[in-house]
Structure 1
């Protein structure tokens, strides 16, 4: 859908912004302890099996207490407290919880500490709701404790081995014995799987609670990466972990089945595959049948395999291929008859499909030149599928239902902007989260059958009212068409006192990574307030989603295949050129910035577009794809051995001699994702080329560069750099 100034919103819903609103945003308000413009959210809730009630974890940070409370969907009133930390004999209040299948027991997490982005270690307890008895699962800090479906056992991982605890007898058994740090991992993922396939628990109970399937990682030959942790002691420590960089050795993965009745482990033969990944395993409703997704290293061939543990037979029920790559999702859903729902981009857009249990296509459930952006589930009683899509324009999100035969589609959400849903277990209700550029997050309860509003839950009208006292600018959505004819979604923020007869510097923001989106009709992030601050200082801020970004079809997204940093950079340069043609833009003062992939992009732009961009800021950038991990990089680039020119011609580290403008590099030394090696090697290359630049290193800070005063310091640093470059006459 072409966006020719479809959205031109007055930020606070006013016809005009009066000069009486002179209060200006400060960095301390955005990034200080106050977080003056933060909005209230909905607590993470768990829908109870009855579909009429839900539970929420309520915490009191001052008193260091926690409780799991039950609420009624229809009234939103509290029904009861299921468990409170004050009634338990535990060292620390619990910070998360999960139920067993019949909701008679809970696992409570305490003393939790992060390992990497998603993985956690903690002390866990089982709480029996009827008896109010609490049992510690292990005296050690463990990972991923999970109830068996019958609720009689808990499986977990400790020091890379899988254990099972019998909750009736209290006896424990060790399933694997070969786990060793930085060598063998059983039941949880290695670093690169966790980061790029987005999961940690690599074991699954079957429906009968008598088998556990698990993935084993042999990372013995994976190269190690080490980071110095400076801390506060006299000598720094070293953090060493396995990190496979593009083209290097991956962990060898294998799939195993443990029989609890026989006490025996057997390997599931996947000998037909070499150099592959197992990004998902999931038992079907048949307790003997396990589904396994296997994808090749290039990630352009994916097989969905059904393995029968009773017969030791396996069959490929779906084989997906793509000229570029296939995205792995969590959308696979087995229905009561073991037919299943699957999402795919095979017709050029992401859609929902229904297959028989043998893999024969029943029908394509959704169709159109638009994308399904979230699959919520299937309600057997009403025979309907619930999903989120961009049918109403690629910058918007709406909630829909449709019969599984693809008929009687119904739009459930009504407000234009970004809608997302959390459904009750039986699809009676859903809680809708809505926001737009003019409306801060609103939460409301709806009937799933027709989307009817039942009750307003929470809004953030106070934040909107507060912003009415500030000098806030408009946010304009538009389509920017480059000289090459590429129509790109974009937004622009001008100074509140904008004068078309003047010329303004332009500061561009982008991320640009494959399938991403920054131009979206939703409420402000913290960076949006920073952009308002910069607009107050007299500049225009622009964001353009170039080719390679998401939600406009696979051709648009996958054009960057094997050439990351070519077409996306071209689009940012061409967009800047088009902006420079506008009478109110000073084409000699156009800057660009980004974080992570965006830092890779901004670095490339200041180099390849050195006659267009006068400055750039790169935070935590990839400076050569040779430094980044296998799964992400090779998905889009294949290996460096196969595609050396794609890597080297589009990596900023190889273009430093082109630097003309002002360039600021920022990185945290504790970044386990995009290693500070990227910035150090970039610095070395710039020095060798005798190029002047600015840089900032944050000791022991990870990829997010947060903690304490760090964010405030970082944004002060960047603001001063912008003032000394773009705003300097």
Structure 2
């Protein structure tokens, strides 16, 4: 049936169009679309309560507030910085085990991605007294389990501070910048094993175990820091590239009373990593996870705290590699929970204290994505998984024997949980591509929602005026038969009879996921802005990405960039055949690994892609770090072809389309060397391209107006070339 549109209808339609707001780069990166979140949410262990850090931006003060899980009622303000003259804003905080004292980090100064130094204040909750610990910044201060001492790192050495006497003893004295580090990870461990604090207290507070890094033989990287001074300063640090010398690591146990140190006997290993270490619930048993350099063999060691002797209690091998996690959890009797991909999907396993498998707790063609903990009173485990589809996350509980499984979330999207100490309640965090982040109080027995804490209705309401396009999730099947998760954004005035340019975005790194049913990232609003401007935006997770099983993820082993690039090219071909797509106007974008991919796509898919934008790309895997690169590629000495056949730098002569290279000059992760040598290769191949270097910016390229200038530049490049 057709309706006749009268003039007043056209008038009303024009008002609707006029009322629609357009997204701008400035509005995105000035925080216009930020959600309301529960910052620094921590569940207390001694009571059914939780704490949240609240910022007062106008007054430049911070509060740590205490709430009751059962009622959500605010019980107290633990500390408000406005009540303490000269007190800086709190960046983060940690309780002692008795929850009677707090360590407050202020004036944090970033070192690398995760590490920082800070001024630390000790706050006594009983008498409201606050004490600045030192007149210098320290790293990773950690309460002893009895709450009487604090271990910390400074200038590559370890120390112990006695709270009562205020005396400090020095555990190590050989720490030297760019030579020896005690108790804090070196650059590559921090970046690729994702931890900073490499020391831990025994449960009886009598010993401290720590990893010592001898990086004296590791090659150095130097980069200029320009600043505003007359001469640039040089930043020099140790960075082991693929196939080069790593830090020599050793494990040590320091006795607080005798002040003596023992070295753990790891003489059976050579060229190895200590990927994790922690004391078990037995005060005399230390655990350590030792990986070989290929990262395809992992030993879980139990180490005697008196003799420093080590024994293997669990061994895992993999044809490709083993992902290290933080899911190792010890029960009261020192039996333990472990997660593994050994049956093809990541699942929970239960072992006795001697490393004998008691049972596999979870099974199925889906993945455990977070382990939340175990209620030992009821022998019930709590976890997050992909049981509701690989792009979704759901919360479950299950008996330790693998029985009585109950879903605690009941919708489609991304659910997370923070449980109370007795597991009777949890704060549920939910979002989806159509629902901003919502926090609710739920009871654990059935998962029933009891009360809404925050649902970001103000943001939802304000977004209505933008008339945003909605992500459509689908499975893209390539001509080769590969089924890949994908989403597409179409202009709101989409007309199937028109031909549109397509802008593809991706990351594609091993185990990653960009196609996820969760609320918008900041960059999602930029994609929506492009859709408002008439582009179709598509994201495809190719082979090698995560959460679809080990076989899908690990197919890329020894040849990073082969199958991932093939899948992006094949996806572009499939999309190009859509009736509403102009197959001659397809572009691709990516950052870091995604920049590596975008570069390869414009070169190896030069008949498919009209343009590409690569931000901070790896252009030669020989330039990247040892731990990451060798996990997937082994060393260049062992696998030269795998490196050379998939590094963009070797295919510069194949460039046909428009190419924009972007990098920060102070990128300590993917070094500017990657882009500089890519430029040299393009120049020598007599290829025209565009580039932008951001002075003193690291891998994230941000600060001040930087992100706004960056994304305006990228947007203009798209307009001009797609």
Q: Alpha-carbon deviations, 1:319-341, whole Å to 9, x = none?
A: 00000000000000000111000
Unmatched segments (≥5 aa) in structure 1? 1-16
More deviation, 78-87/167-176: 78-87
CA distance in 2, matches of 1:352, 1:469: 45
Alpha carbons of structure 1 residues 324 and 32: separation in structure 2 relative to 1, 3 Å: closer
- Offset at residue 63 of structure 1 (A): 2.3
CA distance in 2, matches of 1:564, 1:556: 13
User: Paired residue for 1:366?
Assistant: 362
User: Paired residue for 2:16?
Assistant: 20
User: Paired residue for 1:632?
Assistant: 628
Kept in 2, the 8 Å contact 1:207–1:287? The answer is yes
CA distance in 2, matches of 1:172, 1:442: 45
User: Paired residue for 1:42?
Assistant: 38
Q: How does 1:587-606 map to 2 (within 5 A)?
A: 587-606=583-602
Q: Alpha-carbon deviations, 1:643-700, whole Å to 9, x = none?
A: 1110111000000000000001111111111111111110010000000001111111
Kept in 2, the 8 Å contact 1:307–1:315? The answer is yes
Which of 309, 313, 336 is matched with 2:309 structurally? Answer: 313
CA distance in 2, matches of 1:696, 1:609: 23
CA distance in 1, matches of 2:145, 2:162: 13
User: Paired residue for 2:347?
Assistant: 351
CA distance in 2, matches of 1:93, 1:679: 38
Q: Which secondary structure does the structure 2 equivalent of 1:42 belong to?
A: coil
CA distance in 1, matches of 2:64, 2:37: 18
Kept in 2, the 8 Å contact 1:444–1:458? The answer is yes
User: Paired residue for 1:416?
Assistant: 412
Kept in 1, the 8 Å contact 2:667–2:698? The answer is yes
Whether 2:500 is the aligned partner of 1:514: answer: no
CA distance in 2, matches of 1:582, 1:95: 49
Kept in 2, the 8 Å contact 1:203–1:213? The answer is yes
Q: How does 1:258-657 map to 2 (within 5 A)?
A: 258-657=254-653
Alpha carbons of structure 1 residues 137 and 303: separation in structure 2 relative to 1, 3 Å: same
Which of 200, 203, 218 is matched with 2:196 structurally? Answer: 200
User: Paired residue for 2:169?
Assistant: 173
Which of 236, 239, 243 is matched with 2:235 structurally? Answer: 239
Q: Which secondary structure does the structure 1 equivalent of 2:108 belong to?
A: strand
- Offset at residue 128 of structure 1 (A): 1.9
Alpha carbons of structure 1 residues 28 and 514: separation in structure 2 relative to 1, 3 Å: closer
Alpha carbons of structure 1 residues 656 and 387: separation in structure 2 relative to 1, 3 Å: same
CA distance in 2, matches of 1:251, 1:111: 30
CA distance in 2, matches of 1:184, 1:63: 42
Relative contact order (alpha carbons < 8 A, sep ≥ 6): 1 or 2 greater? 1
- Offset at residue 311 of structure 1 (A): 4.3
Q: Alpha-carbon deviations, 1:462-516, whole Å to 9, x = none?
A: 2222222224223211111111110011111111111111211111111000000
Kept in 2, the 8 Å contact 1:24–1:533? The answer is no
More deviation, 580-589/53-62: 53-62
Task: State the TM-score, normalized to the length of structure 2.
Answer: 0.96
Q: How does 1:178-257 map to 2 (within 5 A)?
A: 178-257=174-253
Q: Which secondary structure does the structure 2 equivalent of 1:55 belong to?
A: strand
CA distance in 2, matches of 1:19, 1:645: 61
CA distance in 1, matches of 2:619, 2:432: 34
CA distance in 2, matches of 1:18, 1:208: 73
- Offset at residue 24 of structure 1 (A): 4.2
User: Paired residue for 1:71?
Assistant: 67
Unmatched segments (≥5 aa) in structure 2? 1-12
Which of 645, 670, 674 is matched with 1:674 structurally? Answer: 670
Kept in 1, the 8 Å contact 2:441–2:449? The answer is yes
CA distance in 2, matches of 1:111, 1:371: 39
CA distance in 1, matches of 2:223, 2:388: 46
CA distance in 2, matches of 1:624, 1:401: 45
Kept in 2, the 8 Å contact 1:247–1:640? The answer is yes
Alpha carbons of structure 1 residues 18 and 454: separation in structure 2 relative to 1, 3 Å: farther
Whether 2:708 is the aligned partner of 1:724: answer: no
Kept in 2, the 8 Å contact 1:184–1:219? The answer is yes
CA distance in 1, matches of 2:701, 2:168: 41
- Offset at residue 118 of structure 1 (A): 0.9
- Offset at residue 58 of structure 1 (A): 2.3
- Offset at residue 110 of structure 1 (A): 2.0
Q: Which secondary structure does the structure 2 equivalent of 1:304 belong to?
A: strand
Q: Which secondary structure does the structure 2 equivalent of 1:527 belong to?
A: helix
Alpha carbons of structure 1 residues 425 and 480: separation in structure 2 relative to 1, 3 Å: same
Q: Which secondary structure does the structure 1 equivalent of 2:472 belong to?
A: strand
Which of 154, 157, 160 is matched with 1:161 structurally? Answer: 157
Kept in 1, the 8 Å contact 2:603–2:651? The answer is yes
CA distance in 2, matches of 1:500, 1:565: 34
- Offset at residue 20 of structure 1 (A): 2.5
CA distance in 1, matches of 2:26, 2:229: 33
CA distance in 1, matches of 2:317, 2:356: 16
More deviation, 480-489/536-545: 536-545
Kept in 1, the 8 Å contact 2:266–2:310? The answer is no
CA distance in 1, matches of 2:417, 2:597: 33
Kept in 1, the 8 Å contact 2:380–2:399? The answer is yes
CA distance in 2, matches of 1:144, 1:376: 23
- Offset at residue 21 of structure 1 (A): 4.5
Q: Alpha-carbon deviations, 1:432-458, whole Å to 9, x = none?
A: 111111111111011122211111111
Q: Which secondary structure does the structure 2 equivalent of 1:468 belong to?
A: helix
Kept in 1, the 8 Å contact 2:46–2:98? The answer is no
Whether 2:705 is the aligned partner of 1:709: answer: yes
CA distance in 1, matches of 2:351, 2:29: 52
- Offset at residue 129 of structure 1 (A): 1.8
Whether 2:91 is the aligned partner of 1:99: answer: no
CA distance in 2, matches of 1:147, 1:716: 47
User: Paired residue for 1:55?
Assistant: 51
CA distance in 1, matches of 2:498, 2:346: 45
CA distance in 1, matches of 2:241, 2:295: 16
Q: Which secondary structure does the structure 1 equivalent of 2:632 belong to?
A: helix
